[in-house]
Amino acid sequence: MKDALFDYWNTVKFDEKLAPQESHFFNQFLTIAKNSKRILEIGVGNGRMINLLRKNGVKSHFSAVDIVKAKLSGVDFTVADARHLPFKDNSYDLVYSLGVIEHFKETKLAVQEHVRVLKKGGYLLITTPKLSFNTPLRYLLYLIRGNYKNGPFRVVCGNNFRLGQIKKMFNLNHVKIIKLEGIGDVFPLQKRAKLWDKFLKVVLPMKLFGDYLYCIIQKI
């Protein structure tokens, strides 16, 4: 599976803008980043989020890892696997990964590694696709676009998790969940039908039914 991960992600092209679902938590994330001296991004890609944080005033020291090589300016970069981070315990004030932990079956191990390298009092942010009304569409597009040729659904698109699954992974004595909720659209193309969009926000709130989720924890 590691070979499949490497082969696929070595070909992926990344956007450079804030994703729509990220706008729901970015301000809180930015505040935490501005108060963190040492920050680690796991699965850095092309450095999109680091660049966005810097453009918004974050002057912290950044480290980053990915399973493929990357050329990033002013960042301590290491080729490494999210499931086996090459850092000492309690090394960073802020650790985050955006759409990383869903791409392999050892998700719980990766979460534990995120927490392990986090300092006491530090914060961890994780985002991942959520099991939602959009999940069947994701799988259908995976088939229609022929992405199955690039690898299993888990590798290419990622597992879709329930909120309860992520909460269970953080059932550790030394962490406190600050925020765990859904973000993003409830249904595909939701925003194109304005009346339907308003109705869904009342009947099916994004915090419970959104197509992505984010979790912020603090190590205590």
- The DSSP secondary structure of 122-158, one letter per residue, reads EEEEEEEEBSSTTHHHHHHHHHHTTGGGGS-HHHHT-
Q: pTM to 2 decimals?
A: 0.89
pLDDT tens digits, 61-74: 999 999 999 889 99
Nearest CA-CA partner of 132 in 106, 158, 103, 109? 158
Contact 160, 132 (CB under 8 A): yes
pLDDT confidence of residue 9 = 47
pLDDT tens digits, 180-193: 999 998 888 776 77
Query: What is the phi/psi pair of residue 52, to 5°?
Result: -65, -40
pLDDT confidence of residue 41 = 98
- CA distances for 194 relative to 19, 82, 201, 205, angstroms: 20, 40, 11, 15
**DSSP-derived pairing of the beta strands 212-219 and 175-183:** antiparallel
Looking up tokens 């859904």 gives 182
pLDDT tens digits, 15-43: 578 898 999 999 999 999 999 999 999 99
- At residue 200, the 3 state secondary structure works out as helix
Nearest CA-CA partner of 83 in 59, 55, 98, 103? 103
pLDDT confidence of residue 15 = 57
pLDDT confidence of residue 63 = 98
Residues of the chain with pLDDT under 50: 1-2, 8-9
Domain 2-219: top CATH class: alpha beta
